[in-house]
Each structure stands twice: as C-alpha cells, then as structure tokens.
Amino acid sequence: MTKTLRIAASALALSMAAFAVAPGALAADAQGGRGFTAKDMVQLERISDPRVSPDGRFVVYSVRTMDLPANKASMSLWITDLKAKTAPRRLAVSDGGASSARWSPDGKGLYFISGRTGGLDQVYRTDAAGETAVQATKAPFDVGAFKIAPDGKTIVIAQSVFPDCDTLDCTKDKLAAKAGVKTTGVVFDKLFIRHWDAWNDGLQNHLYALKIDDQGLATGTPVALMNGFNGDTPTKPFGGDEDFNITPDGKWVVFSAKPADREESWSTNYDLWRVPMDGSAKPENRTQANKAMDSQPSFSPDGRISAYLAMKRPGFEADRLAIMVREADAKDAKGYGERELTAGWDRSAQSIAWSADGKTIYTTAEDVGQTKLFAIDVKSGKVTALTGEGHVSGFSVGPQSIVYAQDNLKGPAQLYALSTVAKKAQAPIKLTNNNAQALAGVAMGDTEQFSFPGWNGETVHGYLVKPANFDPAKTYPVAFLIHGGPQGSFGNLFHYRWNAQTYAGAGYAVVMIDFHGSTGYGQAFTDAISQHWGDRPLEDLQKGWAFATGKYGFLDKDRACALGGSYGGFMINWIASQWKAPWKCLVNHDGIFDSRFMGYSTEELWFSEWENGGPPYAANTTYSKFNPADHVDQWSVPEMVVQGGQDFRVPLEEGIGTFTALQRKGVPSKLLYFPNENHWVLKAQNSVQWHDEVQKWLDRWTKGEPAK
C-alpha cells in the first residue's frame, strides 16, 4: 500500500462514524412533515458525472433538471472550486443544454456535448469560467461519445454509421436513399432484429479520430478507426466513453466490442481491440483467448500498465468482473505480463480509475447492500474501502482528492470530496446541497438493514423502511418490493423507479429482501439463482417475510401487497400460485408470464439460456419447471399488470398474457399500458401516473379504499 493510501485508510478509520452520518443529511427529514411523493421524486435535481480538473482545483459535474409541465428534462453543467471552497455555480454555457463535460489535458478547457446548433449533438469547448462556448466538432451525425488524447492533440468521437461504408458521406447517401423508399417492409437474415427498445436499422457505433488545432478545435478529415469492423463501440444499448480509451502516448485506441455476427444475440464475448490512431491497420483483438466479456480498457499514467475488466464464463452476463492488469516490461507464458489484480476479492468491480502515480486503482463495487468506493494497491492487490454506508454512483480521481456522488435510501445524490494527501484524519467534505428547498418539510422514512438465515441456512440481508412520521403505537400496511435482474439489489440507494420513500410517504412500511441471486454478497451467492428462479429465491422471500413480521410488530401481516418488476414481475406471477396466503394484492411490472415463450421472444438470448440451462428446445432446462403460465388455474390474488409497448427485453405479449389470464380466470385485475415506454418508465409524467395507479391499487386492497 502506498503512503497516500495508508494515510487515507487511517483517516477513514478515524472518521467513519462522522462519515456514516453524513449521507443522512442528503435530504430534509422533517418529522411531522408531509410524505414524499412520486411528483417530488421526478422533479428532483439529479447530480452525476463529477470530473476533477487536472490540477485538482475544480470539479465540474452534470445536473439533470425536470420541467414537469413540459414533461422534459434538461442537462446543465456546474462547477465548484475545491481550493477556495466556494458555492457551486452553474456554467452559462448550459443554456443551450450541456452534458458529458471532460477537461482538456492542460486543464485550460472543458469539452462537452450539446445539441444547441442544428439539432445534432456535437462537442463544444469552453473554459472554467463557462461563459461562452465554441463548436469543436462538425460531424455529420450525432456525437454519441468522445475522448481527448492525453497529449491534447486528438479527439476520438463515436458516430452511428453503416459498417460497410468507407466514408461518412457513404452513410449520408444511404440514409438519404432509404428515406426516399416508399415500401416499409424490412428484411432480416440474422439476430438481433431488435434490442432493448429499438429495431435494428443497420447502423453501428464506430469511432473516428480528428486532429485538434491550436484553438482546441477538431480539424481535418475524420480518420475511420473501425472501417470494416462489424460491431458497436460504444456498445449498445447503454455503452459510453468507458468503452474506449487512448493510450498515454496517443498512438493507439483500444475499444471494447462484440462482433455483430450470427451469434451476437446469445454471446457475451466482448473483446478489447487495438487500432492505430492513424487508422493505418485494422483493429487487432487483444483478448481473443477469453471467450467471456472484456471491457473498460484503461492505462496507467506512464503507459506501463494496462488494465481492464473481465468476466470468465461465456454466456453469463452477471459473472464477477475482475480487474486484469498487463505490465509492459513483464512476460508470462503467453507472452504477456497479465494477472488478475482482484483474484482474492469476491466482489465485482464496476470501473477503473488510476491514481496520478499509477500505484493505485480506484473502483466501485456492491458490498452487502451498499455500493462503496474502493482503493486497490496495484502491486499487492490489497483492497481498502474508502466509503461506508450508501451508494456511490460515480467518482473522479484528482491529484489531491477523490470527488464522488453518493445517495442512500433517504435522499438523492450529493457530491463529496475525500482527501488522499491529508496528513491528519479528515472526514469527507460535502460539496453540494441540491434539492434542499424541494425537500424542506418532507418527512422521510427511517431505514434499517437486517439479516436472517435463508436458503441452505445462509445469511440473507434485507432492508426495512418505516413509514414517514412513524408512530410505534400503530400498525401499518406493507409494500413488499422484489427487485429485478435477477442479479441485482434493492440496497441502500435512492432509486428513481422503485423508490421506497414513495411508499413510506403514503403510509406504508416497506420490506425488501436481497434473495439468493442478488449482487454484492459474493459470486457464489449471485450464482445460486441460475436454474433456480422459483425455489431458492422464493424460500428467501418467505423466510425474510417471516423474519421481518416477527421482528417488527408494526408490520400488519393482514394488509400487505407484493410488487416487482422484470424478474420481480416473474416472481409476482410465480407467487400468485406458489405463495398466495400473505398477499391482499400483487403488482407485476414488465414481468415474465410464459418462461418458454420468453426464451424465443426476448432479444438478449444469452440471458434466458444461461438462467434456464440452455435454449428452449433443449432437454433438461428449467423453462417448464418454473413457468407461471402453467399454474394460472391456481391464481386468485388481485393483480395489477404494467407493461411498456417498447419493451423488447420482456416483450409486450408477456404483459398481455398475464392480464388475459387474470381476466379469463375472473381474478380482479388491472392493466396499465405505456405504448411509448420500454422496460422502464422513464418519462416524468408517466412515472407519476405509474405511482398514482399503483398507489390506488394498494390502497384499494389494504386500506379498503374504493377504486377510482
């Protein structure tokens, strides 16, 4: 461990008590105030993407603001002076919309993405004052992501193009010709035909390099870095600039991508590809030996060591992500000095960031219901937790401090700074206080983590959220939330779709169980759900419910509803026949009805095939073993079904099938259909409607209130 890390670890140990309290101040907690609502939630400012300047003095970050009447969100850039400790200020260049701020290597400029001119997202440049901006790129299509070379002489941008085109003009011509065609039929000869919420239109994300002139603006003809490559970078549907990187010497670009071949929809084999910055050679596969996922290429400041995240098991999207490192001056039997840095750490790394001296890698990882920031010594592999309770959603490493965004069950994210050079113990410094006015007078429910023996006698964790303005003399109806994934977690975080405080604000107690299959408890715990969707997790949920209702006497066992989305929606349909007794009502959001048909109709086939032990036509799979559609004859609990029309992960027919079965069986039921939403409900007014309808459903069956 470096001296800097020893100091930081010491400071952490001495200040943890103070730090553990700090996230509780994220939101006003006015006892006697009004309860938190969905309308409050969608209008909160959302902080993300902190970026510390190269000299460590400033941090710039993004703030998402919602105009609810217009049903439209806008992004702005804010900056704060870490040295002067002045209040954050909004950059004037945000007026045209601004996001994805990145510092120039010399720290004199800021690059960001905006669609202020011509409707296309382009890269713009400003300075730390942020008063005016100049357009830095004039690409023919939206810039999806970008990265500045460490020497400041090149910018690499992502464009959506036809992969068989040698030039950007070729893509422009093809799009123009396509627009003039009057027929609407589309021919496919391989999967994907659609992915997440979009149909395959033949376009792929490819990288292009442009020189940067003395004014910091892109110039010259774009150099195609992926000509002839059949695949996407950034990866679809959620990839960003973490999917590619530039070597410190500026000579190479390394990107993560999966070939869009016949096996694309059932393969998780993303590799790292290296291509010269001048485009003089085709991309070279650098991780061909690993048939599982390789992602997030990164380099030590001196260029001696490269690092990346890697899974080991092909076809499994929830395998543990290890940090791999390759040292330029070391060789192993394969010709590389490669080793797994985190071999002794049973957690899944989410990111990679280097210290200035190259001796430490920072990452975040889920850990027993929290998402923490960790420091890993590159030489020894020793891991040190730098944060405690809460959910770290993003961070940036500066020369003197780390700035991170952290939220928890009681409030949205704020920014904190943690010194890495202080000689005396120091608690993290809170940098922002967004939403203070919006949450003034709002009562949040207190939270408590608990544990109990679950399946196989193994420890399982859960969270209780008390109703706002809790009165220990009263009993309360219960919202029993079941998370999706299934490899996910309802941990200590402020969720913007399944937010426990919206139920607490309406007078409900909330119980959430991180059943076997959840993340953050070791890979064996996560693995335990595969091919066991309907037994081990169900046992955990049942035992968790029994434990919670036994421990917390204010939980009214006779007034409880269970709710879940995605896998949680599957579980709702499963417990409709397998565990009906406790529930007055059920809510299923985009959940699986027919496991076998799901295996043929979902887009990412690797998911259903891994979880069920093979494709639906294969023998010895679990599609029929845990199939809600085969047990509809036992359904009787009132159930509300929510479904998005643009959901290609759990397609529309799954929701319609569930509702049809309920109606045909004569079970009280309701269908809420969003034609313009995907697997998630993202539009603000739709989110409010979702919560209002769900709340009325719960109230009807737990409080005896008539349906409206």
**Where along the chain do its domains lie?**
1-43+354-434, 68-173+209-232, 242-340, 446-702
**What confidence category does residue 686 fall into, taking pLDDT thresholds of 50, 70 and 90?**
very high
CA terminus-to-terminus distance, the chain: 62
Q: Residues 489, 566, 595, 669: which is the catalytic one?
A: 566
Contact 621, 598 (CB under 8 A): no
**647 catalytic, yes or no?**
yes
pLDDT score at 704: 82
Q: How far apart are CA 221 and CA 238, in angstroms?
A: 28
* Per-residue pLDDT tens digits for 472-515: 999 999 999 999 999 999 999 999 999 999 999 999 999 999 99
* Per-residue pLDDT tens digits for 28-56: 455 689 999 999 999 999 999 999 999 99
Instruction: State the amino acid at position 138 in one-letter form.
Output: K
Q: Tell which residue, 499, 495, 531, 503, has the closest CA to residue 516.
A: 531
The backbone torsions φ and ψ at residue 599, rounded to the nearest 5 degrees and listed phi first, read -65, -25
The tokens 């949040």 sit on which residue? Answer: 444
- Note the pTM of the prediction, 2 decimals: 0.93
Please compute the mean of the pLDDT values over residues 585-602 and round it to a whole number: 98
pLDDT score at 333: 42
pLDDT score at 330: 54
Cβ count near 456 (within 10 Å): 11
Q: Residues 679, 687, 691, 699: which is the catalytic one?
A: 679
Mean pLDDT, rounded, of the chain: 93
Sign (positive/negative) of CA torsion 194, 197, 199, 200?
negative
* CA distance readout (Å), 690 to 43, 428, 498, 645, 684: 15, 37, 11, 14, 10
* Per-residue pLDDT tens digits for 350-401: 999 999 999 999 999 999 999 999 999 999 999 999 999 999 999 999 999 9
Q: Where is pLDDT greater, at 424 or 89?
A: 89
Q: How far apart are CA 586 and CA 662, in angstroms?
A: 12
**121 catalytic, yes or no?**
no
590-46-466 Cα angle (round to 5): 65
Both tokens of residue 148? 């500045």
**Has residue 331 got a pLDDT over 70?**
no
* Per-residue pLDDT tens digits for 175-208: 999 999 999 999 999 999 999 999 999 999 999 9
* Per-residue pLDDT tens digits for 133-160: 999 999 999 999 999 999 999 999 999 9
Please compute the mean of the pLDDT values over residues 282-311 and round it to a whole number: 97
The backbone torsions φ and ψ at residue 244, rounded to the nearest 5 degrees and listed phi first, read -145, 155
Contact 410, 22 (CB under 8 A): no
Please compute the mean of the pLDDT values over residues 125-130 and round it to a whole number: 95
* CA distance readout (Å), 448 to 60, 282, 371, 409, 509: 34, 54, 16, 10, 12
CATH no. for 68-173+209-232: 2.120.10.30
446-702, what's its fold?
Rossmann fold (3.40.50)
Share of the chain above pLDDT 90, in %: 91
Cβ count near 78 (within 10 Å): 22
Share of the chain above pLDDT 70, in %: 94
* Per-residue pLDDT tens digits for 287-298: 999 999 999 999
237 preceded by a cis bond (ω within 30 of 0):
yes
Q: Tell which residue, 56, 143, 64, has the closest CA to residue 417.
A: 56
Please compute the mean of the pLDDT values over residues 650-657 and round it to a whole number: 98
